[in-house]
Amino acid sequence: MKVSYQWLNEYLPLAKNGIKPAALAEKLARTSVDINEVSSPKDGLKKVVVGLVKECVPHPNSDHLHVCQVQVSDDETVQIVCGAPNVAAGEKVIVALHGARIGNNVKIKRSKMRGEESNGMLCALQELGVSTSVTPKSDDEGIWILPDDAKVGEPVWPYVGMDDTIIDTDVTPNRGDMLSIYGNVNDLSAIYDLKKNFRQHALASEDGGPASDKVKISVADDKIAPVYKMRVIENVKVADSPLWLKVKLMNSGVRPINNVVDITNYILLKYGQPLHSFDYDKLPSHDINVRHAHEGEKLTTLDDEERVLKANDIVIAAGDTAVALAGTMGGKSTMVDNNTKTVALEAAIFDPVMVRKQARRLDLHSESSMRFERGINPETVETALNEAAYWLTQLANGTVDQGIVVGNQSDYPAKTIQMSTAKVNDTLGTDLSLADLLDIFRRLDFATEKIDDDQFKVVVPARRWDISIPADLNEEIARLYGYDKIPSTLPVMTRTLGGLTDRQRRLRASRHVLEGLGLDQAISYSLTTVAKAKQFMVEPQDVEPMVLSYPMSSDHVATRMNIVSGLLNDIAYNHARNVDNVALYEQGRVFIPAGGERPREEEHVAGAVTGSLYADNWHMKGDQIDFFQLKGIVEQYLKNFAVNGKVEFVADSSRPEMHPGRTANILLDNQQVGFIGEVHPQTAKEYKIPETYVFELNLEALLKADRRDKHYEAISKYPSITRDIALLVDSSVTNADVVNAINEKGGAFLTDVHLFDVYEGSHLPKGKKSLAYTLTYRDQNDTLKEETVNKAFAKVEAHLTDALGAEIR
């Protein structure tokens, strides 16, 4: 809310006590509500004074300009050329002198306009930087005319309220009471412990006939409008509001319209009580019904929009014709205009939720709806209605009909909360006495009653609907006592061990493994397209991903079932920016629908590498990533993960997004836990990425698997013996086939089988390849004898020939 410092001062001696706007704002932020901005309308402006137009003649060379002689001080009159149609001799006007700075940082300089010298500019408020959304309509039509008593030569600010300071507060949903001057005065009075002098204007006389003869009201449901009241004011003269009222509205960000509308807005700002004025004579019936809208019912609102209503909207109807959206916006057909004679003035409390839903659905957030949503002070509904009627008698010459027509009046009993001094201190960590606490509530104007040396009762006024339990009062105590005065301690309590769980520790450590191996950690979006969500699944299955009901963008509609696709998006982003070496991994959630209401969330890790892991160097060229480099990374990762079972890489050509000849499923004890390979060139094309290798592992499976123990095995004191073997085999025979065959007949002393060469090419028969291995034999407990090794090695050779048709070379 835009809170005027000058307005506050009418009810609270702030300036008198040396409390300046900036300090006030700071105090509010520390004690009450957040502050968006503190500013004065005159910030950045200078040399703008009151002038008197002494003479005004048409410009000789123009059909719309005037040449004016303007007195700008006791002894100085300057010539100013002005284009405003309403400029005339005898007027007091706003003069921006030579050297002045006006709105939008414009500097005014002496100049010649069509041959006539002009020593400044006569201004409208807009030209002083006042937003056109709040300037009165008259300001659009020419320069601003100052009151006759304005003193020539003085700065113009006080005459247009621009010397005020506006504190723009950001009110949290619980502090609806702070959406009024009344609420701000109450809170500031408590904060500074200042005596408040909030001036209310009671209605002096009701000179019309009985209002109940003019309108009948029925409220369909207590819930819609717990309070609904109306007054009727006759003989109203619609006109411009006086300057003081216009200024208050403008400084509060509300545009002055006419005296009737301005008075309702003034009351809204002053009390936080929205009012609505109907043109009584335009109401199609004088039976007012507050009810839910009929489904499909139409109403054209003040902003000229035809609204099609829904059954849970709430309306004010005259007879059965909707004439206003309750609490949100009035209807066009019954609005007050210059010819309005009789006003039906409504003051009500509407259901916050209904108003909120209606305003949201229609995107019609108004000053009124915002206040109804956050709660209205039931104590001032009638006060506000009466004061509005008072101002209509004062400013619009109205005659108030007798009595208030009450459509509904619910009870709002004051809440009494019992408090304990010890408990307050135990919660806040303070050492306050009962007297301290009672004093805080005295400042807040909450009645208290002492029960004993510890216990007391607090009566919470209805204006603070947000307070209902002791914890709420704790907050009042804490903020008024001052958060700064609360000491800083650490919880004293039973020692807790805390720390990461085994799972959390392993996940963290395994991330560091991949970083050590050259992969940057990425965090991509978990929400993606349906198509991408379904790709690259560790266990491909025909399942649809979970989708959002109302996504915000077509790129993020479904929860991912893989991480790889997100990494490919990242690679595409890098590639588009000419970054060609990209090595990423990501550890995070995938969401696999599993029949339940919520998907199963699995922790996965995935990697994607394109280009080279090492940047090209002056003396070493970075190798382009290939299957085996990435496989080495995955193998090391799995080794560090220390699962106890058997890990296998099994060729797979079934994944549509993967290269059919360069992809392997990763199996742990025959269970599929991941895959690795080259992205299918077609898929790569769709992602707009170059050749890329990827892997993804389901960490849930790895975390569940038995773990290899950390233990030390003595290094054998005895020497090992090695034998090399080169084989010529059919191309279809895999390394895994050979290694398995060797291990099968390796004997007790074979400790390692190491592949050191693979050759396929012109020196070999077609369809054949050569593989060469070093076999290492060792006895943990004795020196191996050559003949033992020879025997074992011969068995291997024979088996390779028999089982794989290998030719030993």
Partner 1 sequence: MGIREKLEELRDQGLADIQKTADLDSINKIRVRLLGKKGPITNVLRGMKDLSAEERPQVGKFANQIKQDLQAKLDEKKSQIEDDLLQAKLQSEKIDVTLPGTSVAQGQPHVIQQVIDQVVDIFTDMGYQVAVGDEVEEEEYNFEKLNLPKDHPARDMQDTFYVTPSILMRTQTSPMQARMLEKHDFSKGPLKMISPGKVYRRDTDDATHSHQFHQIEGMVVGKHITMADLKGTLELVAQKLFGDQLQVRLRPSYFPFTEPSVEADITCFNCMGKGCPICKGTGWIEVLGAGMTHPNVLKMSGVDPNVYGGFAFGLGPDRFAMLKYGVEDIRDFYLNDVRFLNQFDQKG
Q: Which amino acid is at 170?
A: D
Q: What residues numbered 289-328 form the site for partner 1, per CB under 8 A?
A: none
d(CA 246, CA 254): 9
Q: What residues numbered 115-154 form the site for partner 1, per CB under 8 A?
A: none
**Residue nearer to partner 1 on the CB measure, 278 or 446:** 446
Q: What residues numbered 377-396 form the site for partner 1, per CB under 8 A?
A: none
In degrees and rounded to multiples of 5, residue 524 shows phi and psi of: -105, 180
- By CB under 8 A, tell whether 44 contacts partner 1: no
- By CB under 8 A, tell whether 494 contacts partner 1: yes
What is the DSSP pairing of strand 227-234 with strand 405-409? Answer: antiparallel
With beta carbons less than 8 A apart as the criterion, state whether 234 and 113 touch. Answer: no
CA dihedral 796, 801, 806, 808 (to 10 degrees): 60
Q: What residues numbered 711-740 form the site for partner 1, per CB under 8 A?
A: none
Tokens found for residue 731:
């191309």
Q: What residues numbered 342-361 form the site for partner 1, per CB under 8 A?
A: 352-353, 356-357, 360
* Three-class SS state of 138: helix
Quick one: which of 14, 24, 33, 268 contacts partner 1 (CB under 8 A)?
Answer: 33
- By CB under 8 A, tell whether 486 contacts partner 1: yes
Q: How far is the CB of 497 from partner 1 (least distance, A)?
A: 6
Stretch that binds partner 1, among 88-96, 381-389, 445-453, 482-490 (CB under 8 A): 482-490
Sequence-distant (6+) residues with CB within 8 A of 708 are: 642, 643, 644
Q: Is 657 annotated as a binding residue?
A: no
**For 62, what's the count of Cα atoms within 13 Å in the CB-facing half-sphere?**
16
Q: What residues numbered 156-175 form the site for partner 1, per CB under 8 A?
A: 172-175
Quick one: which of 478, 705, 721, 729 contacts partner 1 (CB under 8 A)?
Answer: 478
**Residue nearer to partner 1 on the CB measure, 620 or 715:** 620
Stretch that binds partner 1, among 56-64, 451-459, 512-520, 692-700 (CB under 8 A): 512-520
- By CB under 8 A, tell whether 22 contacts partner 1: no
**Residue nearer to partner 1 on the CB measure, 583 or 666:** 583
CA dihedral sign, ordered 523, 529, 532, 538: positive
Tokens found for residue 543:
């399942």
Q: How far is the CB of 129 from partner 1 (least distance, A)?
A: 21
Residue with tokens 């012109």: 762
- By CB under 8 A, tell whether 755 contacts partner 1: no
Under the phi-then-psi rule, with left for phi > 0, alpha for psi from -120 to 50, and beta for the rest, what region is 582? beta
d(CA 711, CA 244): 87
Q: What residues numbered 515-574 form the site for partner 1, per CB under 8 A?
A: 515-527, 546-553, 556, 559, 567, 570, 573-574
Tokens found for residue 199:
């001036």
Closest CA to 17 of 9, 26, 7, 25: 9
Q: Is 472 annotated as a binding residue?
A: yes
CA angle 544, 545, 550 (to 5 degrees): 115
* Three-class SS state of 556: strand
- By CB under 8 A, tell whether 508 contacts partner 1: yes
**Residue nearer to partner 1 on the CB measure, 50 or 606:** 606
* Three-class SS state of 674: strand
From residue 72, alpha-carbon distances to 29, 56, 96, 245, 780 in Å are 42, 15, 10, 27, 110
d(CA 474, CA 421): 10
Q: What residues numbered 761-800 form the site for partner 1, per CB under 8 A?
A: none
- By CB under 8 A, tell whether 234 contacts partner 1: no
Q: What residues numbered 179-218 form the site for partner 1, per CB under 8 A?
A: none
**Residue nearer to partner 1 on the CB measure, 474 or 751:** 474
**Residue nearer to partner 1 on the CB measure, 520 or 724:** 520
Quick one: which of 16, 195, 199, 619 contacts partner 1 (CB under 8 A)?
Answer: 619
Q: Fill in the DSSP letter of residue 178.
A: G
Quick one: which of 105, 148, 306, 490 contacts partner 1 (CB under 8 A)?
Answer: 490
Per-residue string for binding with partner 1, 50-89, x by CB under 8 A? ----------------------------------------
**Residue nearer to partner 1 on the CB measure, 126 or 427:** 427
Instruction: Count other Cβ atoms within 10 Å, centred on residue 22.
Output: 13
Q: How far is the CB of 612 from partner 1 (least distance, A)?
A: 9
Number of residues that bind partner 1 (CB under 8 A): 101
Across the strands, what pairs with 316? 290, 324
Quick one: which of 374, 464, 532, 778 contacts partner 1 (CB under 8 A)?
Answer: 374
Under the phi-then-psi rule, with left for phi > 0, alpha for psi from -120 to 50, and beta for the rest, what region is 172? beta
d(CA 262, CA 248): 10
Residue with tokens 């769709």: 686
**Residue nearer to partner 1 on the CB measure, 387 or 476:** 476
With beta carbons less than 8 A apart as the criterion, state whether 387 and 201 touch. Answer: yes
* Three-class SS state of 782: coil
Q: Which amino acid is at 797?
A: E
d(CA 704, CA 702): 5
Residue with tokens 């300001």: 139
Quick one: which of 112, 195, 495, 646 contacts partner 1 (CB under 8 A)?
Answer: 495
- By CB under 8 A, tell whether 620 contacts partner 1: yes
**Residue nearer to partner 1 on the CB measure, 70 or 572:** 572
Q: How far is the CB of 374 from partner 1 (least distance, A)?
A: 7
**Residue nearer to partner 1 on the CB measure, 572 or 738:** 572
**Residue nearer to partner 1 on the CB measure, 277 or 612:** 612
Tokens found for residue 119:
């020593």
From residue 525, alpha-carbon distances to 219, 273, 575, 588 in Å are 50, 45, 18, 10
Stretch that binds partner 1, among 65-73, 125-133, 484-492, 707-715 (CB under 8 A): 484-492
**Residue nearer to partner 1 on the CB measure, 550 or 712:** 550
Q: Is 139 annotated as a binding residue?
A: no
**Residue nearer to partner 1 on the CB measure, 25 or 68:** 25
d(CA 76, CA 57): 19
- By CB under 8 A, tell whether 670 contacts partner 1: no
Q: What residues numbered 578-617 form the site for partner 1, per CB under 8 A?
A: 579, 581-585, 588-589, 591, 597-599, 601, 613-615, 617
Quick one: which of 73, 126, 430, 776 contacts partner 1 (CB under 8 A)?
Answer: 430
Give the residue ranges of the annotated binding site: 466, 472, 475-476
> Which parts are annotated binding residues for Mg(2+)?
466, 472, 475-476
